[in-house]
Chains A and B, each alone.
Chain A
Amino acid sequence: MAQKLYPRGTVKRIVKAHSNRNVSKNADILIFLDYMLFMQELMREASIKSRKSGEKNISANTVRKVTEKTLRKFQG
């Protein structure tokens, strides 16, 4: 936490590339906040699913299965 949480320039460039629009100075913070919420949700779903299927660790397949559902939730 003391370190940089995320590279702000990279996030800005990602969003700018996908949207073909400029990103205002501090909007990337909120975008990353949303991304954190997304990750939280994704990992929550993945851990629930992996626990249901009896796996100890979160496997790639469970993540893939959960991805679509979580992306749907984060559809604006």
Chain B
Amino acid sequence: MANTATPNARRRISPGISTPSGDTTLTRLQRLPSHTRYPLTPSRLVTAATPSAQRSASRFTPRARGVGAPATPYGLRAIQQRAANTPGRDRRRSGRMQRETTFDILRNLGRALAPTSKVIKSSPQEKPEPVEEPKDEFEELDNEPEIERPRLSLPIQESEEEDDDASPEMRPPRMSLALGEEDMDITYRSVEYPRDASIRDRDRLSMMSRVTGRISEDFGETRYDSDDADETGIIGEEDGEDTMMSGGEFDRGGETEDLGRFHFDLNFPSPVAAPLEEPTDENVNDFDDFQLSAADIQPLDTVEAPSDDDDFGGDFGFGLDLAPPASPSASPGIVGGGLRDENVPTKTKEKKMSRHGIPVPNLPAGVVKKLATRFAHSKGGSKTKINKDALAAIEQASAWYFEQASQDLAAYSKHAGRKTIDESDVTALLRRQRHINSSTTVFSLAQKHLPKELQQDMRLAMPP
């Protein structure tokens, strides 16, 4: 293209100078430069240029010039199509525009309504407490007369007036609750926190293999008491716990102490155990204090006593965490005295308290060990051994068993209207445990397990 144009220009200039050349050539040459004079117009270039030159130009454009400026219309169309197919920036812009429009509408509305609201927004976070409370109080004061007015208008009798006297007394608690939500949260936490702890206690108790039925039964006994009794029970629970912690140190696992405390406090308001439980929480604490003082003889207790001060930490760490450190300290003393057993542990060990506040002696470890080894050998061959920790766990289980069984027996004897636990109560228990049925009797069981002297005593007590 350029090659064609330049020679023409030269020819045009040269013949312009050399006029004598032919007219035909001049006219042709002049026609040609008329095309070349305006080379920038694309239509003339395209028409004038040969297809081969056009191809070469189109070949060069994409590579050399790059994407930025498409010279050919095809390139323009391609870019336009690409822009149409791919989401690109336009869609995002549109999405932004849509989202922003909603915000903008609101923002503009807000600006239109309250142009200076931004400055105010920062301040209410600090101020609202002093500001809202007086407002609420005024509102409450406004609310009261509004409610009272109809009542005043309706009644003329004195009885209605008494109701009016009663009604404002009823309202203030609502007002105090409705007074500022933040305040409400704070009070809820402060009030609810011990309650939460007690609930966790219950959960943990149920988790801790302590039979849940017991607890439910206890609830059944105490249900008819007022709620206030429960609250006092919870408060007493904390107090009892603090003192019982030290007692739990020598209890294997310390879990029965926890349980005993729990039961004890639940049963506290129940009329059944009235004679012993008439003493209030203070007296209970006195019991515990007495227990502490008795336990002070032992060095470990004095060490543990100061740590009892924190309520909730002791509450959470009590159940399982203290069990491992307690068991080794307790077990060697027992196992070491295994042969002498019967009197030694009851003296050295400070006594656990039952739910009724009565000290519970432990079954001597030698007896437990003897039974455990006997039954382990009878079932698992002669080689099975029971180490100290396992024995401690077994003793813990047996302590739980006695607690459970004696509570059941107490329930049976109470149902029968007796004050003593009788043989018939135990047989009822055995029957309910499916140990006694049509094929096996108490005597056959006794014959199987008990020595003859005990069988004789049993037969004396129970004529067949």
Contacts and interface: CB of A to CB of B under 8 A. Distances in A.
Interface stretch (B50-58, B241-249, B302-310, B398-406): B398-406
Interface in A25-51: 25-27, 29-40, 42-44, 46-47, 50-51
Given A1-B451, A20-B410, A67 B397 contact: yes
Contacts of A47: 376, 379-380, 384
Nearest to B343: A7
Interface string A57-75: 1111111100110111111
Contacts of A7: 342, 363-364, 367
Contacts of B390: 46, 57-60, 62-63
A16 to B, nearest CB: 7
Contact of B398 (A20, A38, A59): A38
A40 B405 contact: no
Interface of B: 209-211, 213, 273, 276, 327, 342, 346, 354-356, 358-364, 367-368, 371-372, 375-376, 378-380, 383-387, 389-390, 392-394, 396-398, 400-414, 419-423, 425-430, 432-433, 435, 442, 445-446, 449-451, 454, 457-458, 460-462
Contacts of B387: 57, 59-60
A25 B426 CA distance: 13
B420 A71 contact: no
A57 B386 CA distance: 6
A22 B419 contact: yes
B461 A24 contact: yes
Interface of A: 1, 5-7, 10-11, 13-27, 29-40, 42-44, 46-47, 50-51, 56-64, 67-68, 70-76
A29 to B, nearest CB: 5
B159 to A, nearest CB: 48
Contacts of A76: 404-405, 408-409, 411-412, 428-429, 432-433
Contacts of B361: 10, 13-14, 17
Contact of B402 (A35, A44, A63): A35
A18 B460 CA distance: 26
A10 B363 contact: yes
Nearest to A40: B375
Contacts of B397: 42, 63-64, 67, 70-71
Given A5-B451, A37-B445, A67-B400, A19 B423 contact: no
Given A6-B363, A10-B363, A75-B213, A23 B449 contact: no
B457 A71 contact: no
A67 B393 contact: yes
A8 B32 CA distance: 138
Nearest to A55: B384
Contacts of A57: 384-387, 390
